[in-house]
Amino acid sequence: MEAVIGLLLMLLRVTHGVETSCDGRQNGTQCYGALGGTVVLQLMDSTSDIFRYQWSDKTGAILGGGQNRPLHNWIAKRSVFTPSNGTFRINNLITTDDGEYTLRIFDSSGKQSEKRILQLTIQAPVSSVLLDTECLSQGELRVSCSSEGGDSPQYSWTLNGHTLTDAQLFSGNNETNIITLKQDVSGQLVCSVENHVSRVSKEVNRSTCGFIFINCTLPNGTPISQWVFEATNSLCVEPTTTTTSPTTTEGKETHVSITPIDHPWYIRYLYPICGLRTAVVILIFIGITIYFAWKKKKLEMAEGSAVLPEVEHQENSVVKVEMI
Ligand SMILES: *[C@@H]1O[C@H](CO)[C@@H](O)[C@H](O)[C@H]1NC(C)=O
Ligand SMILES: *[C@@H]1O[C@H](CO)[C@@H](O)[C@H](O)[C@H]1NC(C)=O
């Protein structure tokens, strides 16, 4: 049942589009409506105390009425005006609805007693957001956020739920659609794109670009403190075990430079190979361990069965088993 209601609500949202509302009782109010959506404008409090009113755009009257006079709505097919609370609901907004509207209120002598301007801006809602990431030569991550459909999109970023700070950024700022994150910045990155009628966001987990920060002293006494590409790094590497040595060898053989500016694809390609080699070595090691364990067990079983018949000779057998 809940699923059915949810589906119905979803369908309603799809067919009716985005709904916005705006209090236009102050002169000069700026309101926004979504293209294809609905806007609910509060034009006045109630029409009951108003002798005569008229709401119009540059082309002419849209709404008119007052005390003892019938209500006229020139766009009644797609709108509803509620005189008791002064709200005007306009559906299926189109680009030509964008513009300036004027409310004129007249007193019983026919004089205009009030005039209010309302600016309605129609914007297409943002329909989708795309995130594209690219590792740069020193382990920085370039992220570009692009959106489809939205008019006047505004970009903003968060990392692990907090607004990105300048300290985390190598280039760009929190409001540009392309940013570059520093090497040591990681976590859940979210790009939000919004305009006045919609907000869509997309997230990506900031992957490391294969760089690590090393801070050590070389045997010759030179201090090293820099970002290096982990897969090819041979500086300050701990004495390696058999499982990690293939990785080191790989890096030395291929002489991949620490700053692979011209060959980022090659570096990316290298990564799975290193991983695969390590995995193979580990698997071989496990295989050998299992084999020897199995062989040992088999030997014990063979000895055990050789001992077994003697168990019947009670006293001696105990001593024998213990000696074995
Ligand atoms: C005005 O009245 C209409 C119709 O009864 C209602 O849907 C709407 O929510 C009301 N708006 C306000 C601001 O009271
Ligand atoms: C590097 O290590 C030294 C000594 O441990 C420390 O004083 C220094 O702050 C470290 N530098 C960085 C950038 O981490």
> How far is the first Cα of the chain from the last one, in angstroms, to the nearest whole number?
73
Percent of residues, the chain, with pLDDT higher than 90: 52
Distance of CA 158 to the CA centre of its chain: 9
What does the pLDDT average to over 199-204? 94
Quick one: pLDDT band at residue 303, thresholds 50, 70, 90?
Answer: low
- Residues with CB under 6 Å of ligand 2 are 215, 225
- Residues with CB under 6 Å of ligand 1 are 42, 82, 85, 87
From the CA of 23, which ligand is nearest?
Answer: 1
Judge whether 38 and 90 are in contact, CB under 8 Å: yes
Question: Residue 79 has what pLDDT?
Answer: 97
Percent of residues, the chain, with pLDDT higher than 70: 74
User: Ligand 2 centroid vs 199 CA: distance in angstroms?
Assistant: 43
Judge whether 316 and 322 are in contact, CB under 8 Å: no
DSSP bridge partners of 216:
224
- Say yes or no to pLDDT of 15 above 60: no
CA distance 274 to 152: 46
From the CA of 215, which ligand is nearest?
Answer: 2
> Mean pLDDT across the chain, nearest whole number?
80
What three-state secondary structure class fits 123?
strand
User: Ligand 1 centroid vs 11 CA: distance in angstroms?
Assistant: 23
- Say yes or no to pLDDT of 280 above 90: no
pLDDT tens-digit series, residues 33-69: 999 999 999 999 999 989 999 999 999 999 999 998 8
Quick one: pLDDT band at residue 23, thresholds 50, 70, 90?
Answer: very high
pTM score, whole prediction:
0.62
- Indicate the residue type of 13: R
DSSP letters spanning 235-282: TTPPPP-TTTHHHHHHHHHHT--S--SS-HHHHHHHHHHHHHHHHHHH
Q: Is the dihedral of CA 267, 273, 275, 277 positive or negative?
A: negative
User: Inter-axis angle of helices 264-307 and 245-254, to 10 degrees?
Assistant: 150
Residue with tokens 């005189």: 83
User: Ligand 1 centroid vs 25 CA: distance in angstroms?
Assistant: 15
